[in-house]
Structure 1
Amino acid sequence: MEILVLGLNYKTAPVEIREKFTFQDDSTPRALHLLSQTKSVVECVILGTCNRTEIYVVCDQLHTGRFYTRNFLAEWFGVERESFQEYLYIKENSEAIEHLFRVTCGLDSMVMGETQILGQVRNAFFLAREQKTTGTIFNTLFQQAITLAKRAHTETGIGQNAVSVSYAAIELGKKIFGSYRDKAVLILGAGKMSELTAKHLHANGVARVRVANRTLERAQQLARKFQGDACTLDHLAEALLEADIVISSTGAAGYVVTYEQLKPIMKQRKHRPLFMVDIAVPRDLDPRLNDLENVYLYDIDDLEGIVESNLRERAQEAERIAEMISEEVVAFQNWLHTLGVVPLISALREKAFVIHAEAMRKIENKLPDLTERELHIIRKHTRGIINQLLHDPVVRLKELAVQKSGDEVLELFSTIFALEDVVQRRREEAKWEAQKRAARGKEKILAAPSKE
């Protein structure tokens, strides 16, 4: 069995290409069953997010697996293979395993270390398992990937530091206030960045939002998004008196809030802490505001410096996770090689005991006067001889299977004991059972009432 992943993501394909390859939630079960019926495919999982579409398959041969999985993508989405070939990446076996681990741990995400992808991988796997398009290999691989990602986020600090300007502002505010509960935020201007920061603050529990803008109408439009109120910049002194947090992005030519303007207001506030975030270029807030007691002012350079520092820290944590991934890849490959030993061992034992049964039949024919007790003793001891003869080869086979030349060892073992026919029969039976499970799942999907 071989493992493949074929996909497009934000690094290999522009959004106008990626959006053509989006699996809808209600059609994914049908896609899974159609894919599972595709030639060469034994197991499959479909992972679709806003930044990636990936198909994971266990196939019986690499070249046919690549060919027919690409065909499935082209046919399902109704596009020519040549139109997306240059954007498609294909990873095989150990690279495919490592890729899944990196994706699940967030190392392949646009924002390194984000945790949302873990839930998306888990949901994709659970759906495939529910639709019976996974088997022994993927049930083990994806469960291992999920467990690894959880451990990576628990044992490292990769997800602890803000890596966007808006989140950096939120984290700074938490250091000042501890909690945003009962805090009031004042937004100066209606810029996208200040809106995004306000959205995060609102999600973190700020009690009140006020928007101050040159035109009242624009202020009211933004304020409604946060169930807040609005005013013009003419009422700025009153708004500053009540605010705990100020986010500014007005695009004004000069300072919107000056040192001389805020100094008397801070006395009226009785020096209650004021957290100020200046996202504007040129700056809206007078840098001298930082000289006022209990005023905490940060501009865009401060925030971007924090983000760069946090990204470096995440990169260091990512190296630790990469080492964990390398260990897990080896562990899975060892398990996979051991799994390949099972049909050989079963085939060897089956062949040995077929020979044993035939030998016992000849003994019974040549010695018809033997009692049942005597036959039982002969049968028991001859089976013991077979078990002892098989013990050492089986142990050595398990040991050698996990080495680099493991595949060659398995093939040589199969040749020495002439097990090819038995192994092939067992593989065909396993594949047939997998196809029957997939067909039963497909019938279930087709029999389900349409949502339309």
Structure 2
Amino acid sequence: MAFLIVGISHRSAPMSVLEKAALSESQVRELSRAIAEGGYVNGVAVLATCNRLEIIADVSTFHGGLADLGGALVDAIRTEWTTLSEHLYVHYEERAVEHLLTVACGLDSMAVGEAQILGQLRATLSLGQAEGNLSSELGRILQQALRVGKRAHSETGLDRVAQSLLSGALDSAPGWLGDLGAVNALVVGAGAMSSLVVANLSRLGVGRIAIANRSLDGAQRLAATVAGRAVELDRDTLVAEVADADLIVSCTGARGTIIGADSVAAARELRTTRDLRTTRSVQRGDAHARRRQFFVDLALPRDIAPEVGDIDDVRLVGLEELSRIFAAGPHHDAADVTNAIAAVRAIIASETAKLISKRRANSVAPTVIALRGRAKAVRDKEFARLAARLGPDVDARVLDEVRKSMHRLADKLMHTPTVRVKELAAEPGGGSYADALRALFDLSIDATGPLDVLPLPGTVFDSEQLQHLPGNISIQEKS
């Protein structure tokens, strides 16, 4: 197995490019199937989130595997390779393992330390298993990544300092809306992210929470967790609910805009009409804040049209602005955050070393099997020759004892070199010991590793290198 990751995320691409790479569940399945059909792919899993699309693969060769992955990716998101390669990252072998563990721990997320990625990674593993696209080795490495991610959250202070997308977005909400305990909130969508949003709004003491969803059952289940109100989402109810809400958070899996500027304009007109008939502004004592609305768009592609942010007394925060907030946020300099992240990085480094060491040790298994097979063949041949020379007059029990002695002798002679070669192979560059054994004993085994010329383990390619990869890369021809 050669472990290869090809991906695009908020760290490597602008939102305009990420929107093209935002695939629906059916598109993720199609992409997985297309990659699995590649001639150099032994197993594949696709991790797709609101700000990340990564192909995690077990490939037989680096160059061939990259061609298979890249070609399928170009077809899936309909973007030329020369354009796409400017924003892609490629991790191979040890660096790929380290990157996967970093992602699982939430250190590569827009909101550092968020735990939602574990659920997304678990869903990726489940989908790969259901589709039959995982090799046994790839399945194991994904399970190990989940284990390490859980360990990072349980053994460090990561949960205490983790910043969710919502909390980052709401940093400026009180200054725009006033006391959050007095506002009405509307959450559009009832999926996993919406559940996190609702939990956070409740924790922040938001006055009333309504959940609007195309499936009323889903909205009702989520609303019940916070004694909120459930609404079946359609054009009319959306306008009415937006008119009634001060804080609107949208995070659906829709492929198009859910909240347009026209809907918001209609809602605000309805809001104004309602305000003329109520004393609410007097009761709240802040008419200006009452007229304001704060929109948060956590979806990719966008749920809320960018033009909504141009409407008077409306503030819109989307993923692109959130990425800047988290990049510049003061929480990155806090001592407890720094210590927690350092502890998580130590866990990642330790676990990466263990996993790579184990893989290196396992890689010599064919050599060990071949060596023991050679010893057995020699032993059996010599025993057969001895038995033939001694003839039928030799007592069968004596002959059996001789056979057992030869068996024990061969085993003892093979024990030390086979154990030591596994130990030595676990170290960097340890593969040379297996090579030496194969040469010394003239062992012939099936190729188990990449067949073409490989980059050094851990190689990370930049955009220029990706556009000029040598060898048998033919991705542009596949687009």
TM over 0.5: yes
* 1:37 aligned residue: 37
CA radius of gyration, larger in? 1
Query: Matches of 1:237 and 1:197 in 2, distance apart?
Result: 30
Corresponding residue to 1:374 among 398, 402, 416: 398
Counterpart in the other structure of 1:345: 368
Does residue 222 in structure 1 map to residue 246 in structure 2? no
From 183, 186, 195, the counterpart of 1:187: 183
1:422 equivalenced with 2:445 (yes/no):
yes
Match of 1:98 in 2: 98
Please, which moves more after superposition, 144-153 or 28-37? Answer: 28-37
Q: Residue deviations 1:91-148, cap 9 Å, x none?
A: 1111111110111111111111111111111111222133333234223321221111
| Structure with more contact order per residue of length (Cα contacts < 8 Å, sep ≥ 6) | 2
- TM-aligned CA deviation for residue 203 of structure 1: 7.7
* 1:236 counterpart (261, 277, 281): 281
RMSD of aligned alpha carbons:
4.2
Matched-pair contact (CA < 8 Å) for 2:184–2:208 = no
Q: Report the AA paired with residue 348 of structure 1.
A: L
The structural deviation recorded for 1:225 is: 8.6
CA distance in 1, matches of 2:113, 2:449: 40
Compare 106-115 and 83-92 and name the one that shifted more: 83-92
Q: Which amino acid aligns with 1:62?
A: F
Q: Give the aligned residue type for 1:201.
A: L
Mapped to 1, the partners of 2:160 and 2:343 lie a distance apart of 15
Task: Give the stretch that moved more between structures: 78-87 or 387-396.
Answer: 78-87
SS of the equivalent of 2:26 reads coil
User: 311-320 or 104-113: which moved more?
Assistant: 311-320
CA contact (8 A) 1:338 1:402 kept: yes
Amino acid at match of 2:417: P
2:152 aligned residue: 152
CA–CA distance in structure 2, aligned partners of residues 39 and 384 of structure 1 = 44
The residue aligned with 2:254 is: none
Q: Distance in 2 between matches of 1:59 and 1:198?
A: 41
Q: Counterpart in 2 of 1:277?
A: none
SS in 1 for 2:182: strand
- The one-letter code matched in structure 2 to 1:327 is S
3-state SS of the aligned residue for 1:126? helix
Partner of 2:413: 389
> 1:54: which partner in 2?
54
Change (3 A) 1:146 1:330: same
Structure 1: how far apart are the matches of 2:168 and 2:16? Answer: 31
Cα 1:208–1:70 shift into 2, 3 Å = closer
Distance 2:206 2:12 in 1: 39
Render the CA deviation track for 1:299-349: whole Å, top value 9, x for unaligned. Answer: xxxx99xx6247634343212211111111101111111111222111111
Instruction: Give 1:74's aligned amino acid.
Output: V
Confirm or deny: 8 A CA contact 1:188 1:247 kept in the other structure: no
Partner Cα distance (1:371, 1:34) in 2: 65
Q: List per-residue Cα deviations over 1:173-222 (Å, max 9, x = no partner).
A: xxxxxxxxxx99423999xxxxx999953587756479xxxxxxx99743
Rate the CA distance shift 1:346–1:165 in 2: closer, same or farther, 3 A. closer
- Secondary structure of the 1:160 match is helix
Following TM superposition, by how much is the alpha carbon of 1:33 offset from its aligned partner in structure 2, in angstroms?
3.6
Query: Match of 1:26, SS?
Result: helix
Segments of 5+ residues of structure 2 without an aligned counterpart are 172-178, 187-195, 211-238, 249-270, 294-312, 314-324, 451-479
Change in 2 beyond 3 A, CA 1:152/1:219: same
Structure 1: how far apart are the matches of 2:185 and 2:423?
69
Distance 2:31 2:2 in 1: 21
CA shift in 2, pair 1:414/1:159, >3 Å: same
Distance 1:381 1:423, change over 3 A: farther
The DSSP-based 3-state class of the residue aligned with 1:238 is helix
1:341 touches 1:397 (CA, 8 Å); kept in 2? yes
Distance change in 2, residues 1:97/1:249 (3 Å): farther
Deviation at 1:9, TM superposition (A): 0.9
> Which secondary structure does the structure 2 equivalent of 1:42 belong to?
strand
Conservation of the 8 A alpha-carbon contact between 2:10 and 2:51: yes
1:324 alignment partner in structure 2? 347
Aligned to 2:387: 364
Alpha-carbon separation, structure 2, partners of 1:427 and 1:168: 45
Counterpart residue identity of residue 363, structure 2: G
Deviation for aligned residue 1:390: 0.3
2: distance between equivalents of 1:124 and 1:320?
26
TM-score of the superposition, structure 2-length normalised?
0.63
Structure 1 gap ranges (5+): 172-182, 191-195, 211-217, 253-282, 284-302, 429-452
Partner secondary structure for residue 160 of structure 2: coil
CA separation in 2, counterparts of 1:208 and 1:188? 5
Q: Taking structure 1 as reference, are residues 363 and 102 closer, same or farther at Cα in structure 2, changes over 3 Å only?
A: same
Structure 1 distance, partners of 2:292, 2:22, is 38
Instruction: Indicate conservation of the 8 Å contact 1:104/1:146, yes or no.
Output: yes
Partner of 2:431: 407
> Alpha carbons of 1:11 and 1:248: their partners in 2 closer, same or farther (altered >3 Å)?
same
Q: Secondary structure at the match of 2:25?
A: coil
AA paired with 2:431?
D
CA distance 1:140–1:189, change in 2 (3 Å): closer
Aligned partners of 2:436 and 2:137: how far apart in 1? 23
Question: How many residues are aligned here?
Answer: 350
Deviation at 1:18, TM superposition (A): 2.5
For the pair 1:308 / 2:330, whether they are aligned, the reply is yes
Distance 2:123 2:209 in 1: 36
Give CA deviations for 1:8-38 in whole Å, capped at 9, x if unaligned.
1112122332333344323544433432331
* CA deviation map 1:67-108 (0-9, x unaligned): 332122223444432231211111111111111011111111
Q: Check the 8 A contact 2:9/2:51 in 1, yes or no.
A: yes
SS at match of 1:403: coil
Cα distance 1:405–1:315, how it changes in 2: closer, same or farther (>3 A)? Answer: same
